[in-house]
Every structure is written in C-alpha cells, then in structure tokens.
Amino acid sequence: MSYLERIRRPADLRQLSPAELDVLAKEVRDFLVTAVARTGGHMGPNLGVVELTIALHRVFDSPRDRVVFDTGHQAYVHKLLTGRQDFGDLRHRGGLSGYPSRAESDHDIVENSHASTALSWADGIAKANQLRGLGDRSVVAVIGDGALTGGMAWEALNNIADGQDRSVVIVVNDNGRSYAPTIGGLARHLDALRTTPHYEKVLDWGKRTLQRSGPPGRMAFEALHGMKKGLKDVIAPQGLFEGLGIKYVGPIDGHDIGEVEMALRRAKAFGGPVIVHAITQKGRGYTPAETDVVDRFHAVGVIHPETGLPVAPSRFGWTSVFAEEIVEIGRRRSDVVALTAAMLAPVGLAPFAEEFPDRVFDVGIAEQHAVTSAAGMAFAGLHPVVALYATFLNRGYDQLLMDVALHRAGVTFVLDRSGLTGDDGASHNGMWDMALLRTVPGLRLAAPRDEPTLRAALRDAVAVEDGPTVVRYPKGAVPDALPAVGRQGSVDVLARHGGVPRVLVVGVGVMAHTAVEVGVALDAQGIGSTVVDPRWVLPVSEDLVSLAGQHDLVVVVEDGLASAGIGSALRDALAAAGADVPVRCHGIPLRFLEHASRAQLVEEFHLRGPDIARETAAAVAALAPERQDPAVRLRPTGR
C-alpha cells in the first residue's frame, strides 16, 4: 500500500516522517498527472501546492480549524488528503467536483470559484469564532498572488488587519501567475520579496549548512529563520503588509515541507493576523508543465500523460474566431483597444497583444476596475473591447450599469463561455448574463449563431459609440454555418415550414441550430412554423415583435435563464404592443447547477429539438378555440 492510500484523514499525515512525507508528495504528483490526464481538469495549480497542502494539514486541525481556498482550483491535493481519492469521474456528473464542495466533505467551505473572496470569508469566520467564544480556533486562507490583484482581497486585508486578536493565517501561494504572469504593482512588490539576490544567497547557504549537520532540529531551524528575518528586515521590502498591521513571514520555499510547516506553526502561535509568503512553481514535477511558457497546463482536457498533448485536438472554437476578427478590427481602427482580467490567452487576446502590445491592458483579477477603466478610455476617445468569461461579468455589473451605460460610453463587452459550460459547476456557467443585461438601459446585445454572424456582430458592436454593446458566445467548437433563407427587417429567417405558419420559433445564439430542429419536427407533425434568429436580441426589435404578432404561438429557445431572459423580454414587448400572443420560454431553470457535461444539462432541461417540438405540439393543441383556425391571425394593435 502506498503512503497516499494510507491517508484517510489529515491526522494520518502526522504519523509520517520527513522522508515519508517526501515520498508521499511524489505519489500525490504521480496520482494527479495520471488522474487529470484521463478526465481533464486543473493540473498546473495543483502540482504547485502539493507540499504546501501537506504542511497545512499537518499544522492545522481541519475541519475544526477552517481552511479556505481562494478560487478552489488548487484544492485537488486537499481532496486527496481529506479522504477523497476516487478521481475516476472528476468533474463528471456523479463524480468529484473540480472545486471544493460542501456536499463532498466537512473540510470544504467555499464552493464558488470566483477569485479574491477567500480573505473576506476568513475575516467573517474569524469574527464569528470570536463572538461565539471559539477564539482558540484558527482560520487559514490560501490565496494566490494572482487573486491578490482583486480589489476584494484588499478590502478584506484592511479589515483583517483591524482584528489583532483574531487568528487569521493568510498563505500567499506565490507562483508569479494566475492564468498568465501576474501583473501590476503588487506583482512587482512580491517579485522584490521573492528575488532579492543577497537574501536568496544567504538563504541557500543556511539550508546547505543545516543539511550538512543532519536533519535540522527545531532550534537550528529557528536560528536559520531568525537569521532570515534579520536579513529580510534590512533588504526586503516586506513593509507593505506589516504597514497594514499584518505580521509577515517569508518568503519561504513552498516545496520544502519542513520549512512550510515551521512557518505555519509560528503563524498559528502568533494569535493574530499573519501572512505566510510561500514561493511555489506552477506545474511542479511534471516536465511538460514546467517547460510550458503559455500555461497550457493551468487547465487541460484529456491528454497523454507522457507528453501532455491532447488525446483529441480541439476543433476551431468560438474563441479562435474572436481572436482572428479582433486583430482584423485592430488593423483597421487604431482607436480600438482591448482589456481583460488576468485571462489574456483564455479569452483570445494573445494574438491582438502580439500585434498591438501597447493597446492591450491586462488589469489582473479586477473585473470591476476593468469595466470602469474602459469607461474612462471611451470618454477619452478610444473604443475599448473588454473580453471576459460571461460568469465574471457578474462581478462588474454595477460598473457596467453606472459607469458605462449611465454615461452612454461606447464600450464593447465580449463574453466567452456564455450559457452552459457544465464541467466547472455552478459558479462557471455563464447563464446569468442575458437576464442581468436586460436591466441595463441602452445596452445592445448580440448572440451570434455561427462564425459569420460572430464576425459580423463584432464589427457592428465596435461601430456603436453611444452606449455599451455585448457579444456573447458559448464554450467549445463553432457549429457549421447556418445561412439565412431570408430577412424580415433586422431578423434572419432560417426556415419556413408548412403553408400557414402557426408557430414562430426564435433561436437565440447557438440555440438557433436547435430551433431549426424544432421547425423540422413540427413540420413532420403537420404544424407550420417560421424559424428565426434575431442576432441582436437586446433590446427586442420591433421587427421581431411584428413577426411574432403574425403567429399563434411563439417559442423562444435560449441558453440563459428561461424565467428572465430573451423569451420573457419578447413577451413583455408583445404585451406593450397590445399583441395577445402566448410565448413559451425554453431555457435554463433558475437554480445553481451541479457539474455535468453540457449535453447532459441540455437533456436534463429538455432543450433538445425533439423535446421542445413535443411540448410545442401539445401547446398548439391546447390553444384557445379562436386560434385553432389557421386562417385567424391576431396582429399587434399598436404600440
């Protein structure tokens, strides 16, 4: 039995010797490479925190002591050490979540994977412990240097520093990266702490001295640490943290279990807020990840573990189309600039940055700042394009509303991974965007269905200078082009079935392909239909309202919230126009979704073409008597 197989709870770690712990760390890395290569998931972040997580669970008594992981994608090692070693269905329905999950274990606390929140959670838990007379319990927040670029983290630090009698240990996992190299003033500060030349030389000399004298005992290690601290006080600019009133320990080697453990014990004994600064290497121990310069191993699909190459190369995706088109736009317009929040490559801005390095701004994990900074750029004569994952625009909603829309700023938002992303679970589905953006006055939103409509939407969006525009698309491969068979005003007509169309089927974005399937299935049942794609879905166009009024029933298919999305917006527009036409909305239910594949979720929510056609046929059969005669048409009575 391997050492890893013997670990069923964190207390088991305390029975292992230093040599055995080193073997365990290697076993954990081997397990992660093999398991994640088979299922896909976050590989690089977890390979980088093996020793750090082992030391955490040797020093702190989880779940009595609370350990909070920021973003949570580096919690695989934590899962292994808390009794969860079946990774066979990781991130698949019925298997382990790719993030901490309260349903899985009492050791897990924060389930959402939106960055920069762990310190606020830790502050709240520590305050509650104090008020409940549980002051002997520690709270540990593990946060990366990338997540420290988020404004929420600094709001939390300001409050944590005010609680000098509350035990909050902040472990900064400093690998110099988030998705990409960490940027900004904080990154420069940490870099100065990390790379002070003389400090590193003395540290290396001290380690070699102790190694020659045998395993370092506690007194020897404390002597070395005191030497480090004295030197650090002279030459290392750690004052930013201690100036806030938070004790600083480090930097330490995050891959030396003994050193991390000793630092954590000192931090725990201090009894107040402490930052432990650990230097780690993302992808540690896996050669393809260690040598990768573009961070392909932050998150991977199914790969060959020996080489790191994908088992099935991905098809040309939505992100790639955006990456090509935004470069073309940039060549034509020198006023177009791009912003992103620590995700330059994942959202497709790397080619733009390569060709126009002075026109790209990566603001770190700071979506709120990105949005308002874009408003300032628009005011000063530029046209900013803010590229984010759809789920992360949630964090910048207030700034979009009050700083961009209120000021009629010409800013374009490009939302990758909209709708159902599936495997990453509740916090990553981009299902909220259209429901939220419906409430923003003057905002125009496009949902392209294929490559040509995406390219056209981007060109149209950056031409708008009197308010915000949004272009949203899903994760994954681009479907085959779906050409229109006609136009009615601004609306693309994709298909017409039957002599007298009774049902208007509206497909939103990629769901236009499903809408076409619905039309075919209805035709097979003798029900005439018109299938359309509005392309620009917000605000609801008068052309779509007029077309809807010429049918007995409207069916809207979308990959956003059914209860507050485009279908309900069309229903409201019809009511305002005096058109009494029933609207059936097919979309995502208003609830947080368990992790599963997109196809599984589509099936669960009855969003496949045959499912919708079956429900639509039943709805046609149940229409009021005056609508049963196909010759009868209720038209809008005016606006």
Known binding positions? 73, 113-115, 145-147, 175, 286, 367
- Spatial separation of the C-alpha atoms in residues 332 and 322, rounded to whole Å: 15
The one-letter amino acid code at 31 reads F
Cα-Cα-Cα-Cα dihedral sign, residues 33, 35, 41, 46: negative
Residues contributing to the annotated binding site for Mg(2+)? 145, 175
The token pair that represents 502 in the structure block: 């009774």
Q: How far apart are CA 588 and CA 353, in angstroms?
A: 35
Burial of 331 (0-12, 13-18, 19+ CB in 10 A): exposed
Which helix (H) or strand (E) is 424 found in, with range?
none
Q: Which of 161, 148, 176, 138 is nearest to 264 (CA)?
A: 138
Q: Which residues are catalytic?
A: 282, 367, 395
Cα Rg for the chain, rounded, in angstroms? 28
Please compute, for residue 165, the number of CA atoms within 13 A of its CA located in the half-sphere on the CB side.
7
Determine the Cα–Cα distance for residues 639 and 637; give it in Å rounded to an integer.
7
Helix pair angle (512-524, 609-621), 10° resolution: 50
What region does 381 belong to: left with phi over 0, alpha with psi -120 to 50, or beta?
A: left
Give CA–CA dist 380/378, Å, rounded: 5
3-state secondary structure of 336: strand
Q: Which amino acid is at 285?
A: G
The DSSP code for 405 is: I
Q: Which residues participate in the annotated binding site for thiamine diphosphate?
A: 73, 113-115, 146-147, 175, 286, 367
Q: Three-state SS across 262-304? A: HHHHHHHHHCCCEEEEEECCCCCCCHHHHCCCCCCCCCECCEC
* Cα–Cα distance, 531 to 414 (Å, whole number): 26
Burial of 187 (C-beta count, 10 Å sphere; 0-12/13-18/19+): buried
In degrees, rounded to 5, the angle at the alpha carbon of residue 36 between the alpha carbons of residues 35 and 39 is 95
**Token digits for 284?**
């540690």
